[in-house]
Structure 1
Amino acid sequence: MCARAADPARTERTERVLAAATGSDLRALPPAAARPALTRDPRPFPVQSVRRGFGIGRLLLAALGVVALLGYFDYVLGFATFQIYNYFSYFTVQSGLAAVVAFIATAIAAFRSPTDPPWLDWLRLLVTTYIIVSGIVFLTIVIQSSSLDYTIEVPWSSQLLHFWIPSIALLDWLTDAGKARLPWKILVWVLVAPSIWGVFTLIRGSIVGWYPYFFLDPVQVRGPLETAIYCLVALLLFTGIAAVLTATSRLPQRRGFTAA
């Protein structure tokens, strides 16, 4: 068996290819570390995308509040003794109106910034406390009425105002990572509006002869002491709910999102 002689032309071409590979062409190839790897992006969701979702949810909650307030107004119009100006005397209605304003304001803040300004979270804590307490008080009245000789009708609008909207607002507060760390002194401020409302309602009730809640009506209680006890319990409830919300705002926030 004989060996085949090498082709001079092929050998020359091979040498030129090797020489070129060891020169500038080889250096032009990107190093392996610089090449994009086909791996999953480990970056978390942008914070603004999450905040935008909160903003949309709050706008929907504000719209639900408007529907509930209008529905409740239409419901109470059916009472023969109803007066339109009495509708706005209910603490539930006043806190519901304030909640609609707060939901819209915090929705705008969620669209524009990754965090809420502290003053806005002050407002949101106050109205969230008020609507939660309104729901608890109303539920207590409904439960007590079942043991007496009368019943309280709970229409769909009242269910939204007293139960569904406060529950969703509480969920919004607990899951929002963009709220400010609130100081404990807010517990004093949370009592200002209910105290003013209570004094005004007692004075107005003595003039017009109508009270929005039974425990404020001297005819339906066993004296001023019982009214004072009910009011004290309500103030303690306001303080307790606000304390829980304040404590949750002071918990360490999860760093699961990045700015976008």
Structure 2
Amino acid sequence: MPSRPATPRGLALARLAWGLATLAAIVATFVDAAARGPVNPFNFFGYFTIQSNVLLVLVALAAGIVGLVRPGVQPRWLVAARGLATVCMIVVGLVYVTLLLPVHAAGGVEVPWANAVLHIFGPLLVILDWALTTDRTALPRSAILWQLAYPLAWTAVVLVRGATDGWVPYPFLNPSQGYGTVALYVAAIAVVFLVISWLVVWWSRKRP
């Protein structure tokens, strides 16, 4: 019988290193924001970029530790978490490149190297990790639906906050431009989430 795919030690260490690098970028962003004035944690952690990268930190550290302690096929809960982090980080990269970068918006990350880590290198590395490694099981097709639960909940909270206290994390969600325009952006991003989630699940089943 063929041996079960194992997590190479180097890959496990690389995941740990990237998890720590991402954590450093988040901390640097928080310190930079605090140096310019009081930081409202609900605002700071309200950015989808920050939340997705926090998820990436947790997943990368867990994947690295599990890979070192038990270098075999990773447990299903961890594979599911990796899939969700992959979907979220790909969307982070796409939104940054298509909606924020053209208008020179930092997306809440003013430190240049941290911005690159959180918005560019993070999405690229999760794509490579998901596409090239095999230390995981296939995700069920139902994962496509529950992977959408988190971004839908985040969008709902942002829209409520925009309508009440006026805070929105990204300019394309600002209700001042009209809720029709905001709805178009939300619908477009929802379609992007659905397509990316389908691709992530499909690839996990094609190459488990």
TM (norm. structure 2) is 0.87
Find the partner of 2:206 among 248, 251, 260: 251
Identity %: 29
Q: Does the C-alpha gap of structure 1 residues 78 and 93 become closer, same or farther in structure 2, counting only changes over 3 Å?
A: same
Moved more, 89-98 or 169-178: 169-178
How far 1:47 sits from its partner (Å)?
5.5
RMSD: 2.3
1:82 Cα offset (Å): 5.6
Task: Provide the secondary structure at the position in 2 that maps to 1:77.
Answer: helix
CA contact (8 A) 2:5 2:135 kept: no
Q: Does 1:231 align with 2:186?
A: yes
- Pair 1:57 & 2:10 matched: no
Taking the aligned partners of 1:227 and 1:137, their CA distance within structure 2 comes to 14
User: 1:109 and 1:134, CA in 2 relative to 1: closer, same or farther beyond 3 A?
Assistant: same
1:100 corresponds to which residue?
57
Whole-angstrom CA distance in 1 between matches of 2:195 and 2:203: 13
How many residues align? The count is: 202
Counterparts of 1:76 and 1:249, CA distance in 2: 38
- Deviation, 1:64, is 0.9
Deviations 1:28-65 (A, max 9, x none): xxxxxxxxxxxxxxxxx9955x5322211110110111
Instruction: Pick one of 123, 148, 172 that aligns with 2:81.
Output: 123
Length-normalised TM-score, structure 1? 0.71
Which letter maps to 2:92?
S
What do residues 165-191 of structure 1 show as CA deviations (whole Å, max 9, x unaligned)? Answer: 121121111111111111211110111
- The structure with the largest alpha-carbon Rg is 1
Structure 1 distance, partners of 2:203, 2:92, is 21
CA contact (8 A) 2:19 2:61 kept: yes
- SS of 2:145 mapped into structure 1: helix
Contact 2:63 2:78 in 1 (8 A): yes
Moved more, 89-98 or 104-113: 104-113
Letter in 2 for 1:152: A
| Change beyond 3 A, Cα 1:211–1:110 | same
5+ residue gaps, structure 2: none
- Aligned with 2:22: secondary structure? helix
- Unaligned regions of 5+ residues in structure 1, if any? 1-44, 146-150, 254-260
Q: 1:195-243, CA deviations, whole angstroms, 9 ceiling, x for partnerless residues?
A: 1111111112322221111122111x2x211111101111111111122
Q: Which moved more, 1:120-129 or 1:205-214?
A: 205-214
State the alpha-carbon separation in 2 of the partners of residues 182 and 115 from structure 1: 13
- Give the corresponding residue for 2:127: 170
